[in-house]
Amino acid sequence: MKTFRKIFLSLLAVTASFALPLHAADPLYKNDFESAEVGKVPSDMMVMAGAFEVKQDKDGKYLELPGEPLDTFGLLFGPAVKDDVSASARFFGTKKGRKMPAFGVSLNGAGGYRLQVSAAKGKLEFFKGVEAEATSGVPYTWASDTWTNLRITVRKDGDKWVIEGRAWAVGSPEPEKPLITLEEKNAPSNGKAGIWGSPFSGTPIKFDDLLVTPLK
């Protein structure tokens, strides 16, 4: 019986291997903060604004932005890229009464495209630049005290550029299709990925599992 079980598991492993991508792209950047020093920001990150620091709890290490002051803060990471790339991270925030945080992930530098959960608006939005107005938005229900994944993709499609955004709760499958899409005729800038947080609820925002991946 044990021999049969071993054969079955071996066949299952072989079958699963054929289901995997044959040429999965290696990440351009990856950071889960497990090797980072607590109380500091990793040296390969460029803080634009905000008192970010690595912290640790029973589940491991993560990057945290304090709950005050109430403004928008961010940092850049990874190589400078232009298009045919995605950036992702996961975020943890908490609401306080009717006050809720906003957080996002970006590509193409500080002035590039940012995918943002604006929890108080109940929207998933695109921003262009740090202080720019939202260019588009779709309804999105955010859950407090849970981890949320965000992924932004910038890809060239003929003579235009398509920016796509996905958001999903940790533990749920990533949406196959983007939840929000934006098309631009002007080429994006060459720049680093970034994470952003606005602790409007007065509570800290956590960041983890930063990733930059080429599309091809």
Closest CA to 196 of 183, 205, 187: 205
Residue 216: pLDDT band (50, 70, 90) is confident
CATH code, domain carrying 60? 2.60.120.560
Residue 12 lies in a domain: no
pLDDT score, position 136: 66
Residue 19 lies in a domain: no
Residue 86 lies in a domain: yes
Residue 50 lies in a domain: yes
d(CA 149, CA 145): 13
120 vs 15, more confident: 120
Backbone CA torsion sign across 208, 40, 116, 80: negative
Residue 161 lies in a domain: yes
Residue 189 lies in a domain: yes
Quick check: 2 pLDDT over 90?
A: no
Residue 25: pLDDT band (50, 70, 90) is confident
Q: Quick: pLDDT tens for 122-173.
A: 999 999 875 554 556 899 999 999 999 999 999 999 999 999 999 999 999 9
Q: What residue type is assigned to position 173 of the chain?
A: P
pTM: 0.86
Lowest mean pLDDT among 111-115, 136-140, 184-188, 193-197: 136-140
Structure tokens at 167: 């958001």
pLDDT score, position 129: 77
Residue 67 lies in a domain: yes
- Domain limits for position 186: 25-214
The contacts of residue 81 (CB under 8 Å, 6+ apart) are: 28, 107, 108, 190, 191, 192, 193, 212, 214
Q: Is the CB of residue 114 less than 8 Å from the CB of residue 172? A: no
How many domains is the chain built from?
1
Quick check: 24 pLDDT over 70?
A: no
pLDDT score, position 102: 97
Q: Quick: pLDDT tens for 31-79.
A: 999 999 999 999 999 999 999 999 999 999 999 999 999 999 999 999 9
Residue 2 lies in a domain: no
